[in-house]
Amino acid sequence: MSDYGAQTCTGVRHQNNEDAFGMLPARGLWVVADGMGGHAAGEVASQVARDKIVAEVKHGSGLAEAIRAAHDAIMVAAGEVQGRQGMGSTVVAAQIDARSGATTIAWVGDSRAYLLRGGELRRLTRDHSLVQTMVAQGEISPAEAENHRDRNVLVRCLGFDTPAVDQVKLRLESGDQVLLCTDGLSTEVSDFRMADILSGAASAQAGANALVDAVISRQGVDDATAVVVRYAQKTRAWVPVVAGIAAGLVAFLIWMWMRTQ
């Protein structure tokens, strides 16, 4: 893993940023969460989700298991302080094997994961939202969903009825970029614009900064968070050495053969 970065901003309608992001590069883990709930409970919910997932993966849990543990932790935290009842959070997480590129994406809610490959941005997740359900059932078109009045209504999130955790698996190639983001970014910046920003960024951190800056320039009403990971396949350190020795040996044998002719 050669490069990663993260950035977040508070939406104009919020006093506190209810998004949270976390990372554990040693385990190839990146997490984004988007909290909800009054009296700063959303801010608490996203932080609880982030911290629990990082802790669980650090101790060897898989992503789905860690996310289910985060749901339980939010339920406990909601009952500890008056005013936190009903708080919840979305989450999207990625775990990437640095050597092979084998990647697992797991999520609950409408925070998203994207893959940028060869300049083309592809969404890896499907929103757990009312409008996405309506699209799947043919009741509305994807274009209608973008501006539907109920586009922010979730059908799954952490902190309520035990949610099913969806997962996708893929294998990254060198040069691929993975973007994790909250809906504060994806509703303000088009997929085409996100692809353009990431393709032109000098680094993962520059890409994350530019994505969030695009939300700020539009005076985005919701908090927005971007985590960007640029994958570069890790090669074994001894491979170039062995290749060099082999090349030298071949050259030596050729020279010895030519001397005997």
67 part of a folded domain: yes
Predicted pLDDT of residue 149:
78
33 part of a folded domain: yes
3 state DSSP class of 229: strand
256 part of a folded domain: no
182 part of a folded domain: yes
Task: Divide the 261 residues of the chain into consecutive groups of 10 and give the mean pLDDT of each group.
Answer: 91 93 97 86 95 98 98 94 87 97 97 97 94 86 79 89 95 97 96 98 98 97 97 64 58 62 61
261 part of a folded domain: no
Domain residues for the domain of 121 are 3-235
The span from the CA of 132 to the CA of 154, in Å, is 9
Residues 6+ apart with CB under 8 A from 144: none
Find the length of the chain.
261
Please tell me the total count of domains within the chain: 1
250 part of a folded domain: no
Q: Establish how many alpha carbons lie within 13 A of residue 258's alpha carbon, considering only the half-sphere containing its beta carbon.
A: 6
241 part of a folded domain: no
Predicted pLDDT of residue 245:
66
The span from the CA of 144 to the CA of 131, in Å, is 9
11 part of a folded domain: yes
User: Which CATH number is 143's domain given?
Assistant: 3.60.40.10
Q: Sort 256 into a burial class: Cβ within 10 Å, 0-12 / 13-18 / 19+.
A: exposed
